[in-house]
Structure 1
């Protein structure tokens, strides 16, 4: 995969899946804004909520975008879920005072989130939550059928199959906690955590995510 041009940016559009059915919408909004604040501090991004169930922002790299998508999902699942469209391309500022932007990167991200919605509407790919689109003329060869999207689709499928306990274990592992520490938190034996690691392919999710994060 070629590197992005210096003038290209990576943007993320996200929305909450089925948020209108949430009974505590204010609490969900507060939860999401807290997650985005944490991610901005970690990645140097500018993710922000733009409406009750939509958020957006720029991130440093494609790898950071993939990490953001997973982190938001893991922070909300199993009660709620999020869909992401990642766009790569150029942008232009329409209003410096308000920071309103548009341009190929944003258009690509909108097309990507529409792709994710369409994939989720098919039985075979209903777990799809994340798609990358690259605007015409950019230097990254990662269109809707590219390798990045294959990896993201596979990760979405694995994460979508996890129950609450396995999601908790995965969150712990990704935060750097040991299996022994996670077992103590969950009130189970270390062997039970190890079994979930193998049976639910949590190691595959972690390895895939690590490789995706390295994409620039």
Structure 2
């Protein structure tokens, strides 16, 4: 990556640099030398060296392999990477499933926030208005609400929409109760804020506590295939 113009601020096991995928003044682009992967905590762009070449230089996976092989003076055979090509196709399918689930979850959170018949929803809207956030601004910025009522209500929503099960599990928007086996909404009783990547895909959420007795004021989506 250094040969591509990236200047690292330090030489630790997790060096940082200014992101090449978006403009920033503080270096949020981080490299994990142990995992051999990068991630920008500003725009959520992440991947390995092949992903970097594909994103930064608009290459296909095979073109990225060829360029890297040429740079390292390695012999290259298209057939030797056929398994990796298929693997990446499957990963892309899984990633798209998670993005679809996140988009559907946003519609659920939005519906809950603007439910005119719910007292809890009215409370959350009043909470926002007290902080100078109008209903119009909440809609525009894709704010939402995950109720604290029936546990697993998000799962019920997914089931009623016949949502892809693998995508639901990989999204990590649900937690399983070890004792009862029931599904719990990860962001229950929280204001939700959608987190986007540079392509305007919802890759995760941030959840803001609505009560003072919560252990954490903010929580973010757990690590998933896209976050």
TM-score (norm 2): 0.28
TM-score (norm 1): 0.29
Q: Is the radius of gyration larger for structure 1 or structure 2? A: 2
Give the structure with the higher percent helix: 1
Structure possessing the higher relative contact order (Cα contacts under 8 Å, 6 or more residues apart): 1
